[in-house]
């Protein structure tokens, strides 16, 4: 009888001492797993770039060197473009009925192109006078929280941000309104103000290539 009592006492003591140690070890293991799997989220930022375009005017097109538009940015981040005059900003693309032109914007890795066409036929070049526009402003939106602007990589189109800003009561055509809203939910990283120089004209060389080689080339257009 005394032997059974001793055995039972030892079992109880082992449970009382061992179970807390088991829980502690389990907790330490779980904490280590969480630490190993934890990846801190990048902060929400909006990169703001400004380009003085007056050296390229008067002209029907603009060519801007924008190294901040990398391959990753091009495919993963929404980008907004605004043309600035003396008293307002025009969101691209736009139809300016007062001046009689429409402006379109195209982007590629390290490059931004803006073209101006006549509203009369949509084809003829429209030469913008120097006094009309002065700057091109670019907003590159880098949000790590997909709940704000969705998964841009999965649905790379401007409608995602358009709908989000509209839902927040923000006029996407108002640059100051958009910038003020974004500054409340992200840090604004001003990358600088640059002068967009007139592109250097390259010498044209006549190169003869087989037609089948030309047909195999893939051309990409961005909007």
Q: How confident is the model at residue 22, as a pLDDT?
A: 62
Q: What is the mean pLDDT of residues 200-217?
A: 50
Q: Which residue has the higher pLDDT, 219 or 1?
A: 1
Q: Whole-structure pTM over 0.75, yes or no? A: no
End-to-end, the C-alpha distance of the chain in Å comes to 89
Taking all residues of the chain, what is their mean pLDDT, rounded to a whole number? Answer: 80
Within 13 Å of residue 46, how many CA atoms lie on the same side as its CB?
A: 21
Confidence of residue 3 (pLDDT cuts 50, 70, 90): low
Q: How confident is the model at residue 128, as a pLDDT?
A: 96
Confidence of residue 221 (pLDDT cuts 50, 70, 90): very low
Asked whether the beta carbons of 187 and 179 are under 8 A apart, the reply is no
User: How confident is the model over 74-116, as pLDDT tens digits?
Assistant: 988 999 999 999 999 999 999 999 999 999 999 999 999 999 9
User: How confident is the model over 54-65, as pLDDT tens digits?
Assistant: 999 999 999 999
Asked whether the beta carbons of 63 and 111 are under 8 A apart, the reply is yes
Angstrom distances, CA of residue 14 to CA of 5, 18, 20, 25, 28: 14, 6, 10, 16, 21
Whether pLDDT at 21 is above 50: yes
Whether pLDDT at 41 is above 60: no
Q: How confident is the model at residue 16, as a pLDDT?
A: 72
Whether pLDDT at 218 is above 50: no
Question: What are the sequence ranges of the domains in the chain?
Answer: 45-195
Q: Which residue has the higher pLDDT, 207 or 192?
A: 192
SS (H, E, C) the chain: CHHHHHHHHHHHHHHHHHHHHHHHHHHHHHHHHHHHHCCCCCCCEEEEEEEECHHHCCECEEEEECCCCCHHHHHHCCEEEEEECCCCEEECCEEECCCCEEEEEEEECCEEEEEEEECCCCCCECCECCCCCCEEEEEEEECCCHHHHCCCCCCCCCHHHHHHHHHCCCCCCCHHHHHHHHHHHCEEEEEEEEECCCCCCCCCCCCCCCHHHHHHCCCCCCC
Share of the chain above pLDDT 70, in %: 65
């Amino acid at each position: 009888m005394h032997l059974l009592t001793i055995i039972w006492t030892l079992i109880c003591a082992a449970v009382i001492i061992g179970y807390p140690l088991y829980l502690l070890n389990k907790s330490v293991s779980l904490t280590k797993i969480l630490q190993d799997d934890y990846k801190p989220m990048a902060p929400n930022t909006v990169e703001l770039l400004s380009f003085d375009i007056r050296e390229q005017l008067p002209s029907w097109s603009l060519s801007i060197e924008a190294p901040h538009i990398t391959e990753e940015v091009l495919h993963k981040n929404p980008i907004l473009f605004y043309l600035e005059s003396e008293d307002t900003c025009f969101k691209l693309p736009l139809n300016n009925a007062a001046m009689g032109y429409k402006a379109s914007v195209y982007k590629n890795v390290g490059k931004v192109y803006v073209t101006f066409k006549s509203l009369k036929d949509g084809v003829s070049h429209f030469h913008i006078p120097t006094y009309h526009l002065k700057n091109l402003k670019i907003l590159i939106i880098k949000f790590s929280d997909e709940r704000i602007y969705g998964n841009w990589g999965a649905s790379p189109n401007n409608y995602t941000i358009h709908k989000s800003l509209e839902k927040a009561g923000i006029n996407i055509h108002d640059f100051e309104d958009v910038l003020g809203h974004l500054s409340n939910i992200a840090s604004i990283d001003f990358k600088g103000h640059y002068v967009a120089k007139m592109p250097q004209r390259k010498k044209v060389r006549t190169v003869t290539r087989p037609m089948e080689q030309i047909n195999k080339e893939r051309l990409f257009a961005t909007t």
